[in-house]
Structure 1
Amino acid sequence: MSYERFIAWRHLRSKRTSFLSTITLIAILGVFLGVTALTSVVAVTGGFEEAFRERVLGVNSHLMVIKYGVDFRDYREIQEEIDEIEGVSATSPFILHEMIATHGNLSAGILIKGIDPATAQSVSDLPKYTLEPGVVSELEFERFPADGQVKQPRILIGHTLAERLGAERGDVIQVTSPLESLDPGKWSSKSSAPSSRQFEVAGIYRSGFHQYDNRMVMVDYQALQDFFNQGDTVTGVDVRVDDVFGVGAIASQLRRDLPEGRFRVMDWRQLNHNLFTSLGLQRLVLAVLFCFIVLVASFNIVCTLIMIVLEKNKDIAILKSMGATNWGVMKTFIYQGAVVGFVGTASGLVGGLAVCLTIKHTSFGLDPSIYMIDHLPVRMLPLEFAMVGLVSMAISLLATVGPSWWASRLNPVDGLRYD
């Protein structure tokens, strides 16, 4: 062990001056609290971002291809073209409309999505959010049955919407649209009465994302075609890709390959741009603010080292008169500050991990109408913890430079003048 480390360790362990020991403990405690708070904030904000992404991509696809206008009849050919692109794992057609659902005396505005039960499960994780297994397959609707008897279509609704309407599995709800038909050939200037149809509740899903559970419902897309007296047309095509974070490259390729001006291609980031931009900005701001806690704590390290320099003025003079270099004296105090920063950072990381585990295993109920999810999520990544530790140590080491440099510049004559 070099003499710089030996002296630094002796200074930190010295019990002769209880005041300095107290200052050192306060400096360690400050770094501990700052790192604990920073790791907790990074984990919770990262958990929110991951939870929203999982909920959004659990019910929806990674990418949507929508044709301008309402006459999207060549969707099967478009699907085949999209399936040939490298990185695309599945496609499925869909129809979207805004309607009103009624059960008894209760009504609610809904976003009804017509899906293909046979392929929809390959472009989303919807089945794992349903309360009844295999319910997505039960949505299948035969528009032109062989016996000519069209059966009542079935519908899948979110649990929050089910509570609002007082509906359960097996109940019948009425879906009403202000549009009698979306076939341009049947449009006229005359007003038309709203069209409606009854749907049997096939099941209930719980995605954990309030906007979906409260508003979005699913039916067989052929049931919507029959509802609006449409031909074989859809709104667009859902696309699932192998790499959810590489969806931008596939979206760009689709924009180049598909006929220009006829289709709109939107990935999950564009569809939820405001949400994820807001989450990213909040995470950055909170991380910067809590970094200031560590920065403030580093001033305790500065104060500790200054107090040690003032107390050890004579000892520094003796060391320099014995041949210690300015760099050797500077390293002595840098080591002391580094030990304080390391102990505070290490204990802070352990404290942050404990806080995150407590949050993860404790039920902190959130109001989904405000926070959009019903629990407090946490994402603990070793890389993020390591980054927090590196930032804390960097701040702590920078805090030692000033006092250490001052100590190294002391004149031995000034330290021994009055002895």
Structure 2
Amino acid sequence: MSRGEVREHPALPALYLLALGTPALAVTEGPTWVSVIGWAGAISLALLIIRFVLVGFTGYERLVGLRIIRRAGFDPLASASSSDSTPDPGFEPTPVWTRGPFWLALFWITAALGLIALVGFNYTVDRDDAAMLELFKPLRVGLVFYVAVASFAGLLVLIGQRFSVFGTTSIIGVVLGVAALLVVQSVATGFQHEFERRVLGVYAHINVTRAFGISEYRRFEGWLRTLPGVEGASPFVYYAMALAPYTGGPVTEGSPGGAGVAGSDVKLASVLVKGIEPSTADQVIDLPPHLERGSGRVIPLTDLRSSYELMPVPDRADGDLPQVIAATPDPRGPGWYDDAITRWNTTEHGEDPFRIGRTHIDDDVWEDPPDATLDIPVQDRIDTSSLPTIFIGVGLARELDLGEGDIVRLVDPGATFDHSEEPKFVYYLVAGVFQAGFQEYDSRLVYVDIKELQRFKFRGKDIVSGVDLRLSDQDMAEEVGAAIRDALNTTEMAEYSVLEWQKLNENLFSSIRTQKNIITVILSLVIFVASFNVLSALWTMVIRRTPEVAIIMSMGATGPQVARIFQVTGMTIGLAGSLAGVVFGLVMCWLVQLYGYTLDPEVYFIEQLPVEISLVQIAWILGLGLVICFIATIPPSLRAARLRPVEGLRYE
């Protein structure tokens, strides 16, 4: 083996190939072999980085490599020592505005002032004031553009002060690629996590249901609370119904929706009604903060009231229950059913437990009100203290022109299948307006006391659809869900259905992850294209510095040492570009957050463009930029390492 040949360890080429498999770690849902390739690549990459740090950044390789891309005339040690020398009497200093530090300070100061102006605007202007935001929109857009340009110009001046033209152009390409990837990844991650937060604010981490309802739900809930990782549990009932406002006008028989629906031009909305237990619902959903956001005040869940008395239902026989439920004692104590059914039978329930309007609203309301009372709101003309209450979403309130204190009716259009009787309905008083921040929920979801929905769906029997669970860690949902399935569905037919939050909107979450991965791959190509600039610059440097390389090798430098000189050069470009790209990307992310770009909630389901910055995300983007730049250094480094000293000095 001659002096100019590369003397690398035989295992290094294998590590280089394995390191190329590191991006496979980004595939979260895939075969096992993909995960194995990803971890093997990550370990190989870590070993190569450790070796490069221990070997490549030591000795003259680092000094020579940095000298290659250092700006001509830039020598920190020389500039520091020259400050003590006596200036030439005939020396005329250059104007301050032609110096790099002046422009560097100017750009960064102006960028900081622009950021301060944006922050001040957000603190002084109400973000809910659409007219004011629209008035100052050109100013805000101008500030965002101004800060972005000033920040990039400052980075450009800073890089140009330190590196040569070749180095600066290569670094700028990496800066733009890394910054673009960081901004888009932050927005995509913000979308993903914002969707998750809003879905989990309305739905629990896990819900367990049974097709024909659960009568032993108190024992069921008690057992679920004993599972590891479960923080809260609460029963629920779901039912699809129709909702219409009640304005106190005359009732016309045969009007749309059946008898008792006021007027032919009444507004109706199809809604999904969720019956919750006010005492435990806040353990599994975020309804209290949603109510505060929508109503502008704190509304306790106990404001959901119902005077309806359910018919007691005995638990199924222990032999028909899963073993874990049969072994759980009933919190109501032994013999509770006999006492409960005796008490219920002695209570007057009326002939029709649904149509309670005449028992709670004065009879004169059903007739045309006198002219003297036409201007009096309906809630002031009737006694609403005994009406059950309801929470509605802010979107539904806007659609039907409703607010707190208004009266609505819930109609069960599916009371009978043969239409032999009129639809059942009950009047409710709107006790609060919630805002979940998800257009679908704010316009189509309402909450009532669980007893009210048991009245409709289970015809007044004490049966629930299922039990909601909240976990200490949402990522434990699949593990806890699998444990529940194994314990409950011990027979051949799965009697219980266990639904984790990931599967609740699986298509939505899957599409978001797919789009995020596709965008990551596409924008990674920007860094890949920038690496070609690094490769071409290094290759040109190798050709131009062939005599210098030959001289170094003739003085005893080996091929690997020469290769590391250009590897240091390329990695310096990659490190400087990646760090500067992260800085510029963070500035752009903060600008997007401060600007608060609004979205159409009917299209995107949320009102504002979310941005979420993660240290892990920054780390892997930084690592990706370094890996791609390292790969770009391999061809020119091998070209320099294989150079024979005789060929380099032949024409010198």
TM range (shorter): over 0.9
Asked if structure 1 preserves the Cα contact closer than 8 Å seen for 2:238 and 2:453, the reply is no
Cα 1:189/1:22, change in 2 over 3 Å = same
Fraction of identical pairs, as percent: 34
- Quick one: which amino acid aligns to residue 333 of structure 1? F
Mapping 1:289-328, distance limit 5 Å: 289-328=522-561
Tell me how far apart the structure 2 counterparts of residues 320 and 58 of structure 1 sit (CA, whole Å): 67
Tell me how far apart the structure 2 counterparts of residues 88 and 327 of structure 1 sit (CA, whole Å): 58
Q: Which residue is equivalent to 2:571? A: 338
Q: Which residue is equivalent to 1:170? A: 405
Asked if structure 2 preserves the Cα contact closer than 8 Å seen for 1:8 and 1:332, the reply is yes
Q: Does 1:255 align with 2:398?
A: no
Tell me how far apart the structure 2 counterparts of residues 405 and 207 of structure 1 sit (CA, whole Å): 59
Q: 1:135, CA displacement in angstroms?
A: 4.0
Secondary structure in 2 matching 1:144:
coil
Equivalent residue in structure 1 for 2:388, among 141, 147, 153: 153
- Quick one: which amino acid aligns to residue 210 of structure 2? K
- Quick one: which amino acid aligns to residue 199 of structure 1? Y
Cα 1:3/1:88, change in 2 over 3 Å = closer
Secondary structure in 1 matching 2:612:
coil
- Quick one: which amino acid aligns to residue 293 of structure 1? V
Asked if structure 2 preserves the Cα contact closer than 8 Å seen for 1:155 and 1:199, the reply is yes
Equivalent residue in structure 1 for 2:237, among 84, 88, 95: 95
- Quick one: which amino acid aligns to residue 373 of structure 1? I
Q: 1:29, CA displacement in angstroms?
A: 0.5
Cα 1:106/1:407, change in 2 over 3 Å = same
Q: 1:87, CA displacement in angstroms?
A: 2.0
Q: Which residue is equivalent to 1:61? A: 204
Asked if structure 2 preserves the Cα contact closer than 8 Å seen for 1:106 and 1:164, the reply is no
Equivalent residue in structure 1 for 2:280, among 108, 119, 138: 119
Asked if structure 1 preserves the Cα contact closer than 8 Å seen for 2:299 and 2:432, the reply is no
Asked if structure 2 preserves the Cα contact closer than 8 Å seen for 1:135 and 1:203, the reply is no
- Relative contact order higher in (CA < 8 Å, ≥ 6 apart): 1
Q: 1:176, CA displacement in angstroms?
A: 1.5
Tell me how far apart the structure 1 counterparts of residues 540 and 65 of structure 2 sit (CA, whole Å): 14
> Can you list the C-alpha shifts for 1:274-311, whole angstroms capped at 9, x where unaligned?
11111111111111111111111100100100111121
Q: Which residue is equivalent to 2:217? A: 75
Asked if structure 2 preserves the Cα contact closer than 8 Å seen for 1:36 and 1:349, the reply is yes
- Quick one: which amino acid aligns to residue 206 of structure 2? L
- Quick one: which amino acid aligns to residue 330 of structure 1? A
Tell me how far apart the structure 2 counterparts of residues 335 and 144 of structure 1 sit (CA, whole Å): 79
Equivalent residue in structure 1 for 2:611, among 378, 397, 402: 378
Q: Does 1:30 align with 2:263?
A: no
Tell me how far apart the structure 2 counterparts of residues 189 and 276 of structure 1 sit (CA, whole Å): 40
Q: Which residue is equivalent to 1:239? A: 469
- Quick one: which amino acid aligns to residue 566 of structure 2? F
Tell me how far apart the structure 2 counterparts of residues 189 and 340 of structure 1 sit (CA, whole Å): 77
Q: Which residue is equivalent to 2:63? A: 6
- The structure with the largest alpha-carbon Rg is 2
Q: 1:230, CA displacement in angstroms?
A: 2.2
Tell me how far apart the structure 1 counterparts of residues 299 and 417 of structure 2 sit (CA, whole Å): 42
Mapping 1:267-306, distance limit 5 Å: 267-306=500-539
Equivalent residue in structure 2 for 1:196, among 415, 425, 441: 425
Q: 1:99, CA displacement in angstroms?
A: 1.3
Q: 1:140, CA displacement in angstroms?
A: 2.2
- Quick one: which amino acid aligns to residue 276 of structure 1? F
Q: 1:21, CA displacement in angstroms?
A: 3.2
- Quick one: which amino acid aligns to residue 222 of structure 2? E
> Can you list the C-alpha shifts for 1:208-235, whole angstroms capped at 9, x where unaligned?
1111111111000111223453211111
Q: Which residue is equivalent to 2:116? A: none
Q: 1:15, CA displacement in angstroms?
A: 3.0
Q: 1:190, CA displacement in angstroms?
A: 5.9
Tell me how far apart the structure 1 counterparts of residues 506 and 392 of structure 2 sit (CA, whole Å): 25
Q: Which residue is equivalent to 1:183? A: none
Q: Which residue is equivalent to 2:448? A: 219
- Quick one: which amino acid aligns to residue 61 of structure 1? A
Q: Does 1:210 align with 2:443?
A: no
TM-score by length of 1: 0.92
Q: Which residue is equivalent to 1:184? A: none
Q: 1:411, CA displacement in angstroms?
A: 2.1
Q: Does 1:110 align with 2:271?
A: yes
Q: Which residue is equivalent to 1:45? A: 188
Tell me how far apart the structure 1 counterparts of residues 428 and 565 of structure 2 sit (CA, whole Å): 79
Q: Which residue is equivalent to 2:226? A: 84
- Quick one: which amino acid aligns to residue 165 of structure 2? T
Structure with the largest fraction of strand: 1
Q: Which residue is equivalent to 1:411? A: 644
Asked if structure 1 preserves the Cα contact closer than 8 Å seen for 2:550 and 2:649, the reply is yes
Secondary structure in 2 matching 1:109:
strand
Tell me how far apart the structure 1 counterparts of residues 634 and 530 of structure 2 sit (CA, whole Å): 15
Structure 2: which 5+ residue stretches go unaligned? Answer: 1-57, 74-159, 248-265, 311-346, 350-358, 361-385
- Quick one: which amino acid aligns to residue 306 of structure 2? F
Asked if structure 1 preserves the Cα contact closer than 8 Å seen for 2:69 and 2:166, the reply is no
Q: Which residue is equivalent to 2:78? A: none
CA RMSD for the aligned pairs?
2.1
Tell me how far apart the structure 2 counterparts of residues 326 and 67 of structure 1 sit (CA, whole Å): 72
Asked if structure 2 preserves the Cα contact closer than 8 Å seen for 1:23 and 1:300, the reply is no
In the alignment of these two chains, the number of paired residues is 410
Secondary structure in 2 matching 1:235:
strand
Tell me how far apart the structure 2 counterparts of residues 198 and 179 of structure 1 sit (CA, whole Å): 17
Secondary structure in 2 matching 1:323:
coil
> Can you list the C-alpha shifts for 1:164-205, whole angstroms capped at 9, x where unaligned?
11111111122222122xxxxxx7756332222222111111
> Can you list the C-alpha shifts for 1:367-414, whole angstroms capped at 9, x where unaligned?
111111111112211111111111110111110010011012122222
